Amino acid sequence: MSTETPVTTEAKKRGRKVVEGSARQARLAARQARAAQGLSTDKGRPVDPNSARQKRLAERQAKLASGVEIKRGAPKKVKAEAPAA
């Protein structure tokens, strides 16, 4: 009995075959073209830079860049002192 495993020099391609001209390949090509131009390649809904949230985030980033400390959450409640009896 031989314990050696046969050595194969032939490499097989793994995964599904690529179908040229398919919708997925067109999307991938378009994404690659946008990346080559330096444009956004993000998935999902595009960001509106003029929205209220984006303006608020830009203000926050400006404060952080200038070194202002931003505290998170609601301010602490001020406790009323109990009258001394």
Write out the DSSP string of 17-63.
Answer: PP-TT-HHHHHHHHHHHHHHTT-----SSPP-TTSHHHHHHHHHHHH
What's the pLDDT tens digit per position in 21-49? 999 999 999 999 989 998 877 788 888 98
Burial 29-59 (b: 16+ CB within 10 A, else e): eeeeeeeeeeeeeeeeeeeeeeeeeeeeeee
Q: Which residue has the tokens 């009896």?
A: 85
Of residues 71 and 4, the one with the higher pLDDT is 71
Q: What value does the mean pLDDT take over residues 5-20?
A: 83
Position 2 pLDDT exceeds 90? no
Q: Which residue has the tokens 């032939």?
A: 10
Could you tell me the pLDDT band of residue 54, with boundaries at 50, 70 and 90? very high
pTM of the model: 0.44
Q: What value does the mean pLDDT take over residues 1-23?
A: 82
